[in-house]
């Protein structure tokens, strides 16, 4: 598989209303699948948004609702789903967790955000994960981060050294940091010679305004897609054969001096 058709669901999210968000996610997944795609990507915490004050009440218990719904959709439409992330309650703690579904509806991996974002009080309400988000989609190795994780180059580098050819970033990244959002993704793509694919929400969560601008960047740093600030489904096809081609043009992985970096 060298080409991967990707659909990004750049949605608004109703704060603390999982039923509303689940109904919308279902409708949008069906729409994206009908248009023809290999992989559907959702934004961060799309089930509840940052409804942190009551997150234990609204979070998905053991990800059960997310797993039931996305598994059924993936199987019905024969499509892979990167279910962004959801707030999920496990053993009395709430995590910010990605679930990945294959075309048969099997969960092929989970990842809980490891870097909690203090500016949005995550560390007060959420528990950080302790494993990397390394998955396979139709035979393609990918790495998955969540939002603030994008600021940690060590994380993406580690997953790329382990074989990731594309890095996914579901997000709830707000104004006024559009500049950081764009440049960090372009940097991660160029420095790792990999695709970077992000899906950011739009709309307001309380006073905080999220700007969308979901992006797809190729391993040369070219922007293949940059969405606007409105809701919508965005389709892009990436050609993975450019990854080895660019890596042989500038062989950074051969030129690294890891013995000096500690
Ligand atoms: N949800 C998040 O992790 C937001 C990260 C963010 O806004 C940033 O500037 O970093």
ipTM of model? 0.99
Measure 44 CA to ligand 1 centroid, in angstroms: 10
Choices 3.30.565.10, 3.60.110.10, 3.40.50.10440, 3.30.420.40: CATH for 3-260: 3.60.110.10
pLDDT digits (tens, 9 = 90+) for 41-69: 999 999 999 999 999 999 999 999 999 99
For the record, the structure tokens of 14 come out as 């109703």
For the record, the structure tokens of 136 come out as 């396979």
Give me the chain's average pLDDT, please: 98
List the catalytic residue out of 122, 147, 172, 199. 147
Question: At residue 1, does pLDDT exceed 70?
Answer: no
pLDDT digits (tens, 9 = 90+) for 64-90: 999 999 999 999 999 999 999 999 999
How would residue 182 be classed by pLDDT, with cut points 50, 70 and 90?
very high
Question: At residue 138, does pLDDT exceed 80?
Answer: yes
Mutate which of 147, 155, 210 for ligand 1? The one with the most ligand atoms within 8 Å of its CB, which is 147
Question: At residue 262, does pLDDT exceed 80?
Answer: no
Domain spans, the chain: 3-260
Q: b/e string for 18-51 if b means 16 or more Cβ within 10 A?
A: beebbebbeebbeebbeeebbbbbbbbbbbbbbb
**Do 88 and 63 touch, CB atoms closer than 8 A?**
yes
Question: At residue 228, does pLDDT exceed 70?
Answer: yes
């Amino acid at each position: 598989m060298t080409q991967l058709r990707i659909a990004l669901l750049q949605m608004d999210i109703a704060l603390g209303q999982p039923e509303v968000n689940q109904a919308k996610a279902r409708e949008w997944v069906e729409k994206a699948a009908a248009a023809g795609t290999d992989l559907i990507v959702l934004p961060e915490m799309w089930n509840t948004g940052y409804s942190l004050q009551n997150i234990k009440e609204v979070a998905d218990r053991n990800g059960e609702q997310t797993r039931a719904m996305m598994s059924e959709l993936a199987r019905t439409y024969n499509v892979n789903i990167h279910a962004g992330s959801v707030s999920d309650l496990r053993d009395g703690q709430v995590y910010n967790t990605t679930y990945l579904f294959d075309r048969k509806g099997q969960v092929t991996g989970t990842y809980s955000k490891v870097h909690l974002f203090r500016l949005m009080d995550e560390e007060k309400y959420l528990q950080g994960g302790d494993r990397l988000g390394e998955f396979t989609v139709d035979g393609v190795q990918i790495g998955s981060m969540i939002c603030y994780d994008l600021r940690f180059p060590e994380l993406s580098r580690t997953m790329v050294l382990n074989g990731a050819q594309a890095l996914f970033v579901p997000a709830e990244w707000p104004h006024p940091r559009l500049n950081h959002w764009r440049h960090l993704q372009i940097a991660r793509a160029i420095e790792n010679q990999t695709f970077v694919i992000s899906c950011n929400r739009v709309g307001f969560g309380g006073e905080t305004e999220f700007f969308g601008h979901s992006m797809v960047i190729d391993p040369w740093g070219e922007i293949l897609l940059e969405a606007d600030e409105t809701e919508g489904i965005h389709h892009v096809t990436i050609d993975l054969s450019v990854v080895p081609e660019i890596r042989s043009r500038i062989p950074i992985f051969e030129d690294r001096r890891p013995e000096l970096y500690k």
